[in-house]
Amino acid sequence: MMVRMRFPVIALLLPLAAQALPPPPTQLVCAPDGIHRWGVSRDASGTPSQVSLSVAAGTRECDFGSAGSPTAQADGSWRFEWDDEILGQHQRVDVKRAGADGYALTLTPADCGALKVPASATLAPSGKGCSVSVDRDGAFAQFWRQLRDALARGDGELLQQLSLPQLEFVEGPDIVKAPSTVMRRAARCLPRVTATTQRLEIRDMIGGNQAPRLDMPPLSRKGDSRVDFAGAMDIRWTPQGWRMAGFNASRDVFGSCPP
């Protein structure tokens, strides 16, 4: 399908926003026994940004991930404290550095649903069942925060930065492309884009304060490199982090969106 250029070519030459987006976080994950799986996500300085735990016991299982940023403690440790909506409990996890690149975690309470979990654990890259990788879930939470900010401020440049250079749109049976400059006018119309088969709009998720969960509808992972928001929006993984890739709307919807 031929792509019609509806936006001035000069717009493509404009410099992107001066402020560079932060790099994706990395995570240290340890699954030492086939029952428990611990994770610490951290930024480039090693400051933890999220802790997570999952436990399986036969046909039962439980997992949680911290919400919000940790509070730095006087002794150099960090405290994550949040009300877990899924578990219906107040949870606290204290994190201390252990060795050069490890962490010691202490859980209060040592509960996850009806299941018991260890009250403490020490994670290190060299530990049994441990590995370090780019944290795509953490990067997604980062992307989601930036998207919310951009929409709240009507920041078209940031929306463009959070997009692939070419975006896909749906026009009847055709999937058509448009350059990311179309995002500069999209702030008011993007939240209203609809899911393909549900009465759900992007704003239904963007509006809340909860961190997005990639393991929970309406978000859905499509392989390692793609996240689908119920057909309304498609998000792709790039070495720079997650970027918007397409919408369930025609190009005109963004192109003629009022400022």
Partner 1 sequence: MTAVQNYRVQSGDTLTGIAHRLGVSPEALMRANHMDAAQADGRMGRGSHDPDRLQVGQQLVIPVATPGLEREHQVVAGETLAGIADRWGVSVKELLAANPQFDASKLGAHAGHGRGQDPDLLHIGDLIRRPKPAPAPDRTGEASVRYGMRLATDEATQQASVQVAGHRDAWLDLQHFADPALGSNAAAAIVIGTAEGTRRPDGGFTPAYGGHTDPGNAAHNRGSFSYQHTASSPADADRRQLQTLSNQLPAYEAAARRAGLDPNNARLASAYLDLLNQSPSAAGRFLNQLGTLRGQPLDAAHIADLRLHSFVDASTGQRFRLGSGGLAGSGFATIAQRQQHGRTPTEAQVQAVIRADQLRRTNAVESALQRQGLLAPAPVAPTTSGGVPRYLQIARGELGTHEIRGSQDNPRVVEYHQATSLKARDDETSWCSSFVNWTMQQAGVRGTNSAAARSWLNWGQAVPKDAAHVRPGDVIVFPRGNNPAQGHVAIVSEVLDNGLVRVIGGNQGVRGENYDGVTYSDRQLSSAVGVRRAP
**Window 117-136: residues binding partner 1 (CB under 8 A):** 133
- The edge-to-edge listing of strands for the beta sheet with 60-65 is 60-65, 48-57, 36-42, 26-30, 130-134
If the CB atoms of residues 157 and 252 are measured against partner 1, the closer one turns out to be: 252
Under rule CB under 8 A, residue 1 binds partner 1: yes
SS (H, E, C) 215-227: CCCCEEECCCCEE
Q: Which stretch binds partner 1 (CB under 8 A): 15-23, 95-103, 114-122, 156-164?
A: 114-122
Under rule CB under 8 A, residue 231 binds partner 1: yes
Q: What residues from 82 to 101 belong to the interface with partner 1 (CB under 8 A)?
A: 85-89
* CA dist., res. 28 & res. 42, Å (int): 8
DSSP for 66-82?
--SPPEEPTTS-EEEEE
Q: What are phi and psi of 141, to 5 degrees?
A: -60, -40
| Binder among 55, 93, 107, 178 for partner 1 (CB under 8 A) | 55
If the CB atoms of residues 23 and 118 are measured against partner 1, the closer one turns out to be: 118
| Binder among 5, 12, 44, 61 for partner 1 (CB under 8 A) | 61
Under rule CB under 8 A, residue 151 binds partner 1: no
| Binder among 23, 32, 43, 57 for partner 1 (CB under 8 A) | 57
* CA dist., res. 42 & res. 27, Å (int): 6
